[in-house]
Amino acid sequence: MRSRAGMGSSAVASPPSDLSQILPRVLIVSRRTVRKNKFVDFVGEYHLDLIVSYGAVPVIVPRVTGVHRLLDSFEPIHGVLLCEGEDIDPSLYESEALNLSPEEVEEIRKLHASDTAIDREKDSIELALAKLCLERNIPYLGICRGSQVLNVACGGTLHQDIEKEVSKHCPKENVTAHINYDNYDGHRHKVRVVKETPLHEWFRDSLDEDEMEIWVNSYHHQGVKRLAQRFVPMAFAPDGLIEGFYDPDAYSPDDGKFIMGLQFHPERMRNEETDQFDYPGCPAAYQRFVKAVIAYQKKLNSSTQVPKPLKLNTELERKRKTIIRSFSLAKDLYNHGSALNPSKESELRVGAEFLESNKALSQYQENRLKQMGATIRSGNSYLEGMKLKENKEKLVRNILSKMTVEQLSDLVSFHHMMAQICSDLLETRLHDVNGFDDDHSS
């Protein structure tokens, strides 16, 4: 059993480092088991080790009642990794009756007792997280059950038992054992990797270009039946079962994009004595996933940063101060009712000219200026402008209401990107103006 330094220690905990505040956060939902007659939540340590080793912080979401309604509390979310667990409630994906007899269903429950106990709370938490990732383009890696959750979240379906639904319909030489209760980590079966996919890229040095096969570890009695339309298969078992898939339109780790499901367990494909991976490509899924998580965090931070205040050049700053003096003078005249000093008339005129050239003021601004004795010019034009703006907003809302979640998500990302580009260009322009003024003043 792996040791955990510091557990149970009475030493005073050191304050959190700065890294704990800046490293990206990957949410992982725990699995429930019973220990000493009580429920215990756990996550496989291999997953946690790999996430940490590549530069992210795993945040464990406990499988407890009501957590699916509290997911906002786990923000910011930079990535989601979902892994092992019980069978997904078939009512969430299967509308047709299963062609299995009651005897066969009972046989399945006895043979896979630890997996067939439906956990609806875990289903609710993980499906909510998967849909959140799809809506906001948050990097997602699904391992084993996590790949099934991803497929179901996108409208796909599952075989409720591979042996009963797949094995008995395929040639004997293609029948594949996807689980071995007597040898969890040591069990292996072949898969054929699809060319020009991420799996091909990761395992290229270990593949024969003619056979394109590797041996993988797996532990499941269910699997993808109908793959959701947005996904592309990356690997197949000899019996035809899909062992890996991804969204090619959402795969670009450098750009913070990663949506993928692996039915097998690359993290457990290790030598039992040395703990070395079977293939150099085994940890690549986690490495690329965390790379996307880090890039996504950077994009998120850049789109939510408070804009830097604009630096006005000398001339603009002088005008700003002049306008402020003009309004202050108007306010004093209004409050005290004193006569205007002729020498101050030119200063008051600056404020009037500013109002003439800036018609579109908010209601609050209008009220404040009225209190200071100012008059809003061109009221009709202002109201017409507001009405036109309202009509445009209704038209845009009508168009957006017909768009899909994916289209809306892409549109939001595009506008974030455009806002950042405009901000950068504006700052550059202002910097150039300031530099020009400095050169001429010297």
Catalytic residue (choose from 154, 163, 265, 347): 265
Spans of the chain below 50 pLDDT: 1-20, 373-380, 382
- State how beta strands 213-216 and 189-193 pair: antiparallel
Q: Note the pLDDT of residue 16.
A: 47
Catalytic residue (choose from 83, 267, 282, 347): 267
Distance in angstroms (rounded) separating the CA atoms of residues 233 and 231: 7
Catalytic-residue membership of 267: yes
Q: Note the pLDDT of residue 421.
A: 77
Model pTM greater than 0.85? no
Q: What kind of architecture, by CATH, is found in domain 25-302?
A: 3-Layer(aba) Sandwich (3.40)
Q: Note the pLDDT of residue 380.
A: 45
Residue holding tokens 């601004």? 365
Catalytic residue (choose from 144, 163, 165, 243): 144
Q: Note the pLDDT of residue 278.
A: 94
DSSP tag of 286: H
Catalytic-residue membership of 431: no
**Each residue of 26-48: pLDDT tens digit?**
999 998 777 888 878 888 889 99
**Each residue of 287-345: pLDDT tens digit?**
999 999 999 999 988 876 555 555 556 777 777 777 777 777 676 666 666 666 666 66
**Each residue of 360-387: pLDDT tens digit?**
555 555 565 555 544 434 444 545 666 6
Q: Note the pLDDT of residue 14.
A: 47
Domain(s) labelled CATH 3.40.50.880 in the chain stretch across: 25-302
Q: Note the pLDDT of residue 368.
A: 57
Q: Where are the beta strands (DSSP E) in 307-373?
A: none
Q: Say if residues 345 and 326 touch (Cβ distance below 8 Å).
A: no
Q: Note the pLDDT of residue 307.
A: 53
Task: Enter the tokens of residue 352.
Answer: 């009037």
Residue holding tokens 């007899």? 101
